[in-house]
Structure 1
């Protein structure tokens, strides 16, 4: 491996990564401004039982997930993906061949560009299931991005009263998960909201009124259980290294009996703290709330160079986590180390890790703003395909 050596002991909370490495934290910053992500590197890639054709079975081992929500649009716009030997294939197949066993798919209520709706999610779920992969549905309950800095109501729900908004949440949840059940690809997990640190469906579901937020979350969670009983329900916050935040939030949620089975976290090391902080938080959450935990978003750059005219979210040396250079090797080490931290959660309650948008390459037209094809994605240097579309080592962590 190139760059500074990293030796994280998953049984220790000593900081082997350098807490003073100068990285910034996102706080409540909007994904529009900063789209947003951290151990000893595992000695060798984990072994995964294979289906015919070299594809990992979803039921075996921890989650090695990929959020491929942008993939259908990239494909429609002509993106090309290659295996390490140079042969072309669809990105989902390549990721599965490299060990990915879950997909995470975001759903918007009325997507401005026609993607991320129920029909698109269902089609992508069929592709994933055919490759032996499980499905996590990521409900944003918005027409576009939802994150700590923005949780806008769908336009069609803007005039609804409290009861009407709860019905809308339940009906939308039911419709999406029901469509997956109907086609024989039920979701293994569903997030009731995305990075809801400050709530969702503002202003009604803001954490300023946690009773209202709890009612909305309960409406979605109960609808999920009714239409898709085998689906595990997750509540998802960003800032995965901030234990005080997670305690405050989940103390409030559990006090109001919001039903859920999994605590989901985003953890980007250049914003969300250190790996020891993540480790301590995961261990505390399992002990305090008796729930499983999963990191549903992380990523790291393989280069600081850009593949288009748009500035990347992470494009400066000063933004990097100490010990993890912006190289293919540094990217791989990052994902292995965060997976090691999650795998070390007591009792096997760390479910695994999802890599956020590993196939979001700089294909023209597939920008962050669904209403503006010229917006650029600012993320291509954190994909696990290089600028020729060839898969990188991090895909096989």
Structure 2
């Protein structure tokens, strides 16, 4: 009897083992993560100064509205804001930037902060150090880090979390001249970029840091600059580009820009973004075609690494400060150029 019982137990164990050894279905493969929502937006850093000067803004039907709402209703989801260190008239200083960023946040818009690291305009032709930033490269790096973290911490206190942060603006030949001029001291320029990168990540670890050059069609410029940064310890997450073609050459420039974007992705493994575009306000049809095509091309960049397209100061109208590349007519209404963002 005992022998029969043992045999029975062994038989049951064998059956159980067979059941447990039965093949299991393969786990379902994890689907690829969806690309982030494409950024369609504008730099409207002039807005508070324009409002203070009495400028009004109207939607396409002629109803006066807040500019952030007008742009949101035109399909935009992102706002870019420049930061100056100690501007003589106060516009684009810390308080002004926080006020504008808070308004963008209230409309549910994503935010890009654009550090010029200057008291006024920084662009390919001028990269003037803030008057208070004196000393050698080490001292300038300290001032840069302090300024960057100060502005970002104030934004954090105000409840604003930028998705992207630019360290420098159109830094074709570096920034903070003469110390950070790339053509004469690429290593110092790379150190300054790395310092800005680290400062951003200290406050907002998830923010994407952008290094931005003009002439997005100029592949030789981009290779020279980013090869130099890479060789000297520069750090970045996104390569930013400006593109301001004419109404007659935009198609060729867009093709060159797409080739450049794909080359940047292939060469450095980084994302790309068109952070500034513009065209004469009275060429709305050409501007619409240009932007529509550029959005499509940026979306087509390999690996979903084309992040977005932003218009530079579209709300500037009636020759505001001599700028004529906006996308509002002289009555303060958006032109059909901005329909490309819908």
* Bin for the TM-score computed over the shorter chain: 0.7 to 0.9
Q: 2:323 aligns with which of 379, 390, 396?
A: 379
2:192 corresponding residue in structure 1: 216
2:4 corresponding residue in structure 1: none
RMSD: 1.6
1:337 corresponding residue in structure 2: 293
Q: 1:87 aligns with which of 39, 51, 63?
A: 63
Higher helix share: 2
Q: Secondary structure at the match of 1:235?
A: strand
> How many aligned positions are there?
302
1:279 corresponding residue in structure 2: 258
CA deviation string 1:59-107 (max 9, x = no partner): 9731101000001100111111111111110112100111111101000
**In 1, Cα distance between equivalents of 2:97 and 2:310:** 17
Work out whether 1:104 is the aligned partner of 2:96: no
TM-score, reference length from structure 2: 0.85
Q: 1:128 aligns with which of 83, 88, 104?
A: 104
2:154 corresponding residue in structure 1: 179
Work out whether 1:249 is the aligned partner of 2:192: no
**In 2, Cα distance between equivalents of 1:217 and 1:250:** 11
Deviating beyond 4 angstroms after TM superposition, the runs of 4 or more aligned structure 1 residues are: none
1:291 corresponding residue in structure 2: 270
1:150 corresponding residue in structure 2: 126
2:318–2:329: 8 Å Cα contact kept in structure 1? Answer: no
Q: Secondary structure at the match of 1:219?
A: helix
Structure 1: stretches of 5+ with no match in the other structure:
1-58, 304-325, 364-375
Work out whether 1:361 is the aligned partner of 2:317: yes
**In 1, Cα distance between equivalents of 2:36 and 2:172:** 32
2:170 corresponding residue in structure 1: 195
**In 2, Cα distance between equivalents of 1:154 and 1:238:** 22
**In 1, Cα distance between equivalents of 2:37 and 2:339:** 14
1:316 corresponding residue in structure 2: none
Displacement of 1:185: 0.9
1:302–1:330: 8 Å Cα contact kept in structure 2? Answer: no
CA deviation string 1:178-218 (max 9, x = no partner): 11111111111011100001010000000111111111111
Displacement of 1:245: 1.1
2:83–2:94: 8 Å Cα contact kept in structure 1? Answer: yes
**In 2, Cα distance between equivalents of 1:160 and 1:103:** 34
CA deviation string 1:109-151 (max 9, x = no partner): 0112110011111110110011110110111000111011000
Deviates more, 1:386-395 or 1:270-279: 270-279
1:362–1:377: 8 Å Cα contact kept in structure 2? Answer: no
**In 1, Cα distance between equivalents of 2:274 and 2:39:** 10
Q: 1:117 aligns with which of 80, 90, 93?
A: 93
1:394 corresponding residue in structure 2: 337
CA deviation string 1:220-267 (max 9, x = no partner): 110110011121101001111111111111111112222211000111
**In 1, Cα distance between equivalents of 2:260 and 2:119:** 31
Structure 2: stretches of 5+ with no match in the other structure:
1-34
1:294–1:353: 8 Å Cα contact kept in structure 2? Answer: yes
TM-score, reference length from structure 1: 0.74
2:21 corresponding residue in structure 1: none
